[in-house]
Amino acid sequence: MKLTIGFSVNGDSVEVEVLPHWNLLKVLRDVLELTGAKQGCGEGECGACTVLVNGAPVNSCIYPVLEVEGKEVTTIEGLMDKSGRLHPIQQAFLEKAGVQCGFCTPGMIMSAFALLKANPDPTEDEIRHAIAGNMCRCTGYVQIVESVQHAAAVMSGRSQERAGKE
Amino acid sequence: MKNKDKPPELQPFFDKNIAGDVVPSIGISMPRIDAYAKVTGRERYAADYYGFDMIWAGVKRAGIPHARLKSVNTQAAENLPGVIAVLTHKNISGSNRQGVIRKDQPVLVDDKVRHCGDAVALVLAEDKETLAKAIKLTSADFEPLPGVFTTETALEENAPLVHEDHPGGNVLLKASLEIGSVQSAKEHCDVLVEACFETPLVEHAYLETEAGWAQLKEDGKLEIVASTQTPFRDRMEVADALGLEPERIRMIAPYAGGAFGGKDGVTVQSLLGLAALHANGRPVKMWWSREESFIAGTKRHAARMYYRLGAKADGSLHSLDTRLYFDTGPYDHLGGVVITLALEHSGGPYRIPNVSFKGWAVYTNNPIGGAFRGFGVAQVTAAMEQMMDMLAEKLAMDPLKLRLKNAVRKGDKNCVGVTLTHSTGLVECLEAVARHPLWTERAAWKSKAGPFKRRGAGIVALMHASGYGPVVPDVANAKVELTAEGKIKVYCGVVDMGQGNAATNLQIAGSILCQNVDRIELILPDTDRTLPSGSASASRCTYTFGNALIGACETLKLRILQRAADLLMVDDCDETALIPGAVRHLPTGREIPLHRLATFMNESERTATQRFRAPTAKEIPPVGNEIRLHGFPHTLFSYGAHLVRVEVNELTGVVDVKRYLSVSDCGKIINPHVYEQQIQGAIAQGIGYALSEEVQVNEGKVLTADLATFIIPAASDVPEIESQPVEIYEPSGPYGLKGVGEIATNGPLPAIANAVADACGVRIFRSPLTPSRVLRALRERLSEGGVH
């Protein structure tokens, strides 16, 4: 039997009918058609489905949708500002070549977003640790790490030269 | 938020405030055109379609490695509410066979199951949950058959046959090559080294598993959108398998979420086509689960390789004989081509006067061996480059000097008898490694290993061919259009599976036509709109298509300038130049906007096409026609040299990759960012191949069908990678470029194995070098009293 639950997605309140065993990713993709969060494994192993629930990154493919009742969900679609300007992390991934096939990118950016919120000036090791649950099969992570470093520098107002040296 | 009937967005779009006003140049790092849609989550991959009235299709897999199919029981599933159809081979009116070379793979099993991942029935349902239930309710009666699960047993006399109708029995293809005489040469060798190497079955593990959707349109056209590397070839395969005219089928290939060879050929396409024919015009979607991708998708061939290498006392290589056994699983797929490319590369980038190479692609009831970045070269390079280190040790020679001594140079014949007439930068790559502090200062670094740690450095020399070889035409057809609105449309014939060739196409077109990024639109591969240009594979995409695109753009440019000169009533189009959005008459400064110019030109005038065929080797090597047909030999190679520093934990057996250096001769670079992505990503995949990735199979059943047991490198597993290009201009390439897509994948396994040997004095002949294998080798060395 379907239940109705309410939560917010990228600032908008939504009510959806769900089956109790559904996961959050299914609702985001199949019901709300927010296809930015990807399914790479469906078992919480690859991180392609990473979204934020009340600011914390979760693997939405194994996050029970009933748990999201009354909470705030942020997906990749919610990172741009109202005027359509990219978030500095998105901008950094674009400029510093953190994107190849792009299927891991939304999840990767959401993990980076959560990291930089908690730790605005992370070391390289801290970045690698924070995205260790986000598998990327294309890039070898070098330019992803550089993208996050660059975003951190821009967001905290540090100069780009310093970002380059980190 | 919800918009059920919107069409899928297949075209990339670009935010003007990013770099839309930039006129691309060649040789600069500019943001990839596809990145904007990808960082915003707006890109619609084949997996991202959720259209109005959409239904789901899924497959009942055999789950048994070898069996005769007696019957398929569909009734229980058909009775389930929400099930639209349960289809079997009886619903297929075509050949029901797929394959690139030998068409031996059924869409749905009719006579025999040949591996666990074979598709037995195709289920269509209203939603995914009903689909899952219906697949469970579908069953089949099998008569189990004895299977063959190793290449050794498959080659035994009286072994069960995977394909009874194959004249070669379980040998899909035997390839061999003899130059000089290995037999008599052996007597003239001062040292001989012999070994057998085993490399594992490996999964591509692209993040986007096999996916697509299809719809039978009202006009009878079957539209299939799929995550594929080969839309034009797919169309022919689907047409043949399903018994349709190719013109009835439209294949569309959006950006793929990774492919690496695993989408080189049909995955979901024929199944989706069949489903759409039975879906009453509704769109039908298929998206394999990760487990299904492991079980049914293709893999890098597991290989067993016997090597015997002989040299003179001064280190010059004198003879090599190899026997390669590749497990191709139940279907050809590209197994014959893979063994042929492996054979061609089995002696590495060296001059060796006497060689005897033999290779067998062997049918078994294991998962399907197929294309995977490296394409057979990853396996043989793992063997040959370890042989070189073993030889260097026996000769007490520096391994880098040994390679330099034997390295091919331009004008040499390589060890399969092909004269190297194109740029050949191996020596430059090796010299760059030789000069690098990671090499020159390795002794000091090694001596600083902490307690219970051992440090070592390893190097390798690499080569990788590009293109299809001599018989199958390696052709691309580019098309570029000045639209009625005065913009430029580039019709991309080759899929972008993530490697960035779409962005490179834009860079080329924008640079030649002097148009800024937001005046250019890319049309991604689509059999109805773009021109056939071959597969996204073989390190050929930008080389072959780029050459064609340059020609098309130059033709269009000249036509635009000539038309503008006529309208401006000037004698010579040399006085006119394209600028963003217009043509300017340089002496007077008068301009014609492109949108106005376009109104004076009819459609055919506004469109230019160009065909390019990649060069082939002109020598006739001593091999059979069958081997030439499978792509032997090549004429154009990229080269590289890698260096790795590792630290081995003697207590745990863990190999920690500390630093990685790659020097590559892939010609001139069009976009350094994209080049580095290709090199670094390939190295990360190679590190996984070296240390952790192994699809474990027992009696044909995959035991490691998820990312928790098949371990690909995470961010914390990949070291700092330095990638240096040796930018030697290749005259036949677009702007001097050669292929870069694959070569770097081949380096890490032998480099790391060599570094482990350097660190601990043990050589591990079976990869990956897992902690347990390393520990076992260390223990064996101890029990042998320190002698290995």
What 3 state SS string does B771-784 have? HHHHHHHHHHHHHC
Query: What digits encode the pLDDT tens for the residues B490-542?
Result: 999 999 999 999 999 999 999 999 999 999 999 999 999 999 999 999 999 99
Question: Which chain B residue has the Cα nearest residue A125?
Answer: B716
Chain A residues in contact with B501 by the CB 8 A cut-off are: none
Is the peptide bond preceding residue B167 cis, with omega within 30 degrees of 0? no
Specify the CATH number for the domain of residue A122: 1.10.150.120
Interface test with A, best of B131, B207, B228 (most A CBs within 10 A): B207
CB-based contacts of B508, cutoff 8 Å, min separation 6: B24, B26, B546, B549, B550, B553, B670, B734, B735
Structural fold of domain B299-469+619-783: Aldehyde Oxidoreductase; domain 4 (3.30.365)
B288 touches B210 (CB < 8 A):
yes
**Residues B705-718, mean pLDDT to the nearest whole number:** 97
- Tell if the CB–CB gap between B715 and A14 is shorter than 8 Å: no
Element (H, E) at B186: helix B182-186
- Rg of chain A over all Cα atoms, to the nearest angstrom: 16
Residue A162 belongs to a domain: no
The answer to whether the CB atoms of A34 and B31 lie below 8 A apart is no
Tell me the C-alpha distance between B163 and A109, whole Å.
Answer: 48
Q: Kindly state whether residues A92 and A138 are assigned to the same domain.
A: yes
Q: What residues have CB less than 8 Å from A139, skipping those under 6 apart?
A: A98, A99, A100, B677, B680, B681, B684
Equal CATH topology for B299-469+619-783 and B475-613:
yes
Q: Which residue's structure tokens are 């019709």?
A: B491
Kind of pairing, strands B284-287 and B55-61? parallel
Which of B409, B459, B441, B423 is CA-nearest to residue B726?
Answer: B423
Distance from CA of B2 to the nearest CA of A (A): 6
> For chain A, how many structural domains are there in total?
2
pLDDT bin (cut points 50, 70, 90) of residue B18 is low
CB nearest to A101's CB, from B48, B498, B684: B498
What's the confidence (pLDDT) of residue B131?
98
B chain contacts of residue A48, beta-carbon cutoff 8 Å: 207
Joined together, the tokens standing for residue B431 give 């010299």
Residue A166 in domain:
no
- In angstroms, the CA A92 to CA B200 distance is 37
What's the whole-number average pLDDT of chain B?
Answer: 96
Question: Looking at this protein, which amino acid is placed at residue A72?
Answer: E
Rounded Cα distance between B225 and B234, Å, is 11
Q: Do A100 and B681 touch (CB under 8 A)?
A: yes
Question: Is the CB of A138 less than 8 angstroms away from the CB of B681?
Answer: yes
Regarding whether A136 and A99 lie in a shared domain, the answer is yes
CA distance A125 to chain B (A): 8
Same domain, A102 and A66: no
Asked if A135's CB is within 8 angstroms of B714's CB, the reply is yes
Dihedral sign, Cα of residue A27, residue A28, residue A33, residue A35:
negative
**Longest alpha-carbon distance in chain A:** 57
Give the residue among B591, B526, B36 at the shortest CA–CA distance from A109. B36
Report the length, in residues, of chain A.
Answer: 166
With a cut of 70, say whether residue B7 has pLDDT above it: no
A103 and A73 in a common domain = no
The beta-strand segments (E) located in B47-117 are: 55-61, 67-73, 83-87, 97-98, 105-106, 112-113
Give contacts of A109 with chain B, Cβ < 8 Å: 39
From the number of C-beta atoms within 10 Å of its C-beta (0-12, 13-18, 19+), residue B81 rates as exposed
- Pick from B257, B677, B718: CB nearest A103: B257
Residue at A68 is within a domain: yes
Q: Are B408 and B424 in contact (CB under 8 A)?
A: yes
Confidence at B305, pLDDT banded by 50, 70, 90: very high
Q: Which residues contact B443 (CB under 8 A, 6 or more apart)?
A: none
CA dist., res. B545 & res. B525, Å (int)? 12
Q: How far is Cα B134 from Cα B489, in angstroms, rounded to an integer?
A: 45
Q: Are B290 and A43 within 8 A, CB to CB? A: yes
Contact A97 B707 (CB under 8 A): no
- Please list every residue in chain A whose beta carbon sits closer than 8 Å to the beta carbon of residue B128: 30
Q: Cα separation of B549 and B260, whole Å?
A: 23
Is B87:B723 a contact under the CB 8 Å cutoff?
A: no
At residue B1 the predicted structure's pLDDT band, cuts being 50, 70 and 90, is very low
Among residues B232, B214, B231, which one has the least CA distance to residue B223? B214
Q: Please, what's the largest Cα pairwise distance for chain B?
A: 90
* Residue among B150, B288, B180 at smallest CA distance from B226: B288
pLDDT tens digits, one per residue of B386-404:
999 999 999 999 999 999 9
| In-domain check, residue A161 | no
B123 within 8 A of B85, measured Cβ to Cβ: yes
Residue A98 within any structural domain of the chain: yes
Residue for token pair 């069949």: B274
Same domain, A54 and A98: no
CB < 8 Å to B255, chain A: 101-102
Quick check: B3 pLDDT over 70?
A: no
Q: Chain B: give the shortest CA distance to residue A92, in Å.
A: 10
| pLDDT value of residue A1 | 83
3-state secondary structure of A113: helix
Quick check: B225 and B283 in contact, CB under 8 A? no
Smallest Cα distance from A14 to chain B, Å: 10
**Which CATH class name applies to B475-613?**
alpha beta
Nearest CA in chain A to B30: A95
Q: Which chain B residues are within 8 Å of A137, Cβ to Cβ?
A: 204-207, 258, 260, 681, 685, 712
> Per the CB < 8 Å rule, is B676 touching A141?
no
Domain that holds residue A63: 3-78
Per residue, the 3-state secondary structure of B99-123, as one string, reads CCCCCCEECCCCCEECCCCCEEEEE
Give the residue among A51, A90, A88 at the shortest CA–CA distance from A71: A51
H or E element, residue B637: strand B637-649
Q: Do A95 and B255 touch (CB under 8 A)?
A: no
Residue B458, φ and ψ in degrees, nearest 5: -135, 145
Task: Report CB contact under 8 Å: A80, B40.
Answer: yes
Residue B181 CB: number of other CB atoms within 10 A? Answer: 14
Residue of chain B whose alpha carbon sits nearest to that of A92: B39
- Examine the fold and report which residue of A78, A104, A133 is the final residue of a domain before the chain moves on: A78
Q: What is the pLDDT of residues B94-135, one digit of tens each?
A: 999 999 999 999 999 999 999 999 999 999 999 999 999 999
How big is chain B, counted in residues?
788
| pLDDT above 50 for B6 | no
Residues in Cβ contact with B313 at an 8 Å cutoff, skipping those fewer than 6 apart: B190, B191, B395
Do the Cβ atoms of B482 and B476 come closer than 8 Å? no
The mean pLDDT value for B555-573 works out to 95
Chain A positions touching B38 (Cβ under 8 A) are 99, 102, 105-106
Query: Which of A21, A47, A78 is the last residue in one of the domains?
Result: A78
- Which chain B residue's Cα is nearest to A48? B207
Structure-token pair, residue B746: 């081949």
Check whether residue A97 and residue A140 sit in a common domain.
Answer: yes
CA distance A91 to chain B (A): 8
Distance CA(B629)–CA(A11), nearest Å, equals 59
Residue at B571: amino acid letter:
D
**Contact yes or no for A43 and B208 at CB 8 A:** no
Same domain, A63 and A103: no
Q: Which residues of A touch B748 (CB under 8 A)?
A: none
Domain boundary assignment for chain B: 55-145+210-287, 299-469+619-783, 475-613
Interface contact flag, A102 B255, Cβ < 8 Å: yes
Confidence at residue B785, expressed as pLDDT on a 0 to 100 scale? 65
Q: How far is CA B86 from CA A91, B113, B114, B240, B554, in A?
A: 47, 18, 21, 22, 53
Cis omega before residue B587 (within 30°)?
A: no
The pLDDT confidence band at residue B572, using thresholds 50, 70 and 90, is confident
DSSP secondary-structure letter at B278? T
Which chain A residues are Cβ-neighbours of B37 within 8 angstroms? 102
Interface size A-B, in CB pairs within 8 Å, comes to 197
Both A74 and A111 in a single domain? Answer: no
A66 shares its domain with A26: yes
Q: What is the pLDDT of residue B4?
A: 42
Decide: B678 and B664 in contact? Cβ < 8 Å: no
CB contact under 8 A, B38 and A132: no
Position A163 in a domain: no
Separation in Å, CA B395 to CA B192, B252, B312: 10, 56, 9
- Nearest Cα to Cα of residue B337 among B88, B538, B569, B579: B538
Strands B655-665 and B720-725: parallel
Q: CA nearest B31 in A: which residue? A: A95
Percentage with pLDDT > 90 across chain A: 91
Say if the ipTM goes beyond 0.90.
yes
Looking at the DSSP assignment, which residues form a beta bridge with residue B61? B119
SS (HEC) of B451-480:
CCEEEEEEEEEEEEECCCCCCCCCEEEEEE
> Chain B closest CA to A2's CA: distance in Å?
14
Structure tokens at B291: 């487990």
pLDDT in the model for residue B186: 85
Same domain? A40 vs A106? no
Residues of A in contact with B48 (CB under 8 A): 29, 35
Is residue B502 a contact partner of residue B522, using CB atoms and an 8 Å limit? yes
DSSP code string of A8-37: EETTEEEEEEE-TT-BHHHIIIIIS---SS
For residues B611 and B430, give the distance between their C-alpha atoms in angstroms, rounded to a whole number: 36
Instruction: Tell me what pLDDT residue B429 has.
Output: 98
Backbone angles phi, psi at B3, to 5 degrees: -140, 90
Mean pLDDT score, B568-594: 96
Same domain, A39 and A58: yes
Whichever domain contains A40, its CATH number is 3.10.20.30
User: Do A106 and A127 fall into the same domain?
Assistant: yes
The reported pLDDT for the residue numbered B17 is 43
* CA B392 to chain CA centroid, nearest Å: 32
Residues of chain A with C-beta less than 8 angstroms from the C-beta of B35:
93-94, 97, 99, 102
Of B38, B255, B707, which to mutate for an interface test with A (greatest number of A Cβ within 10 Å)? B38
* Confidence (pLDDT) at A163: 44
Strands B488-491 and B520-523 come out as: parallel
Contact B689, B202 (CB under 8 A): yes
Instruction: For residue B612, give the 3-state DSSP assignment.
Output: strand
Distance (Å) from the alpha carbon of B128 to chain A's nearest alpha carbon: 10
**Interchain pair A33, B498: CB under 8 A:** no
The token pair that represents A11 in the structure block: 């600032």
Nearest alpha-carbon partner for A100 in B673, B752, B523 = B673
pLDDT digits 0-9 by tens, B187-228: 999 999 999 999 999 999 999 999 999 999 999 999 999 999
HSE toward the beta carbon, residue B708, CA cutoff 13 A: 6
C-beta atoms surrounding A73 within 10 Å: 26
Judge: B18–A86 Cβ closer than 8 Å, yes or no.
Answer: yes
How far is it, in rounded angstroms, from Cα B556 to Cα B562? 10
CA atoms within 13 A on the CB side of B690: 32
Give the separation between CA B296 and CA A49, rounded to whole angstroms. Answer: 23
Chain A residue with minimum CA distance to B205: A137
The fold for domain B55-145+210-287 equals Aldehyde Oxidoreductase; domain 3 (3.90.1170)
**Mean pLDDT across B653-667:** 98
Instruction: Nearest chain A residue to B686 by CA: give it.
Output: A140
- Average pLDDT of B647-652? 98
pLDDT tens digit string along B445-495? Answer: 999 999 999 999 999 999 999 999 999 999 999 999 999 999 999 999 999
Facing B677 at nearest CB: one of A30, A40, A139: A139
What is the phi/psi pair of residue B536, to 5°? -85, 85
Among candidates B38, B256, B677 on the partner chain, residue whose Cβ is nearest the Cβ of A105: B38
Residue with tokens 């959707």, as numbered in its chain: B213
**A131–B715: do the CB atoms touch at under 8 Å?**
yes
Closest CA relative to residue B179, chosen from B317, B372, B67, B325: B317
pLDDT of B786 strictly over 60: no
Residues in chain A predicted with pLDDT less than 70, given as ranges, are 159-166
CB contact under 8 A, B35 and A42: no
Domain boundary among A55, A78, A101: A78
* Chain A residues lying within 8 Å of B677, measured CB to CB: 97, 100, 138-140, 143
